[in-house]
Amino acid sequence: MKVAIIGAHGQLGTDLVKVFGEDPSFEVIPLTHKDLDVTVPETLKVLKELKPDVI
């Protein structure tokens, strides 16, 4: 399962990347502010390209 984590460098995001990364059944996609800015609609195309199962 592909899991995209927005805010991967934040406190919660860092923990989520670590927890999901320990389970081989998850493909973790850590996204930072540089990768995706939710306030700019054009950057949301990143999610369409990655096609994660869970965000």
Segment 20-44, tens digit of pLDDT: 999 999 999 999 999 999 899 988 8
pLDDT reported for residue 18: 97
Question: Smallest Cα–Cα separation from 4: which of 39, 23, 43, 32?
Answer: 32
pLDDT tier for residue 9 given thresholds of 50, 70 and 90: very high
36 with 44: CB under 8 angstroms?
yes
* Pairwise CA distance, residues 54 & 23, whole Å: 15
Percent of the chain with pLDDT over 90: 91
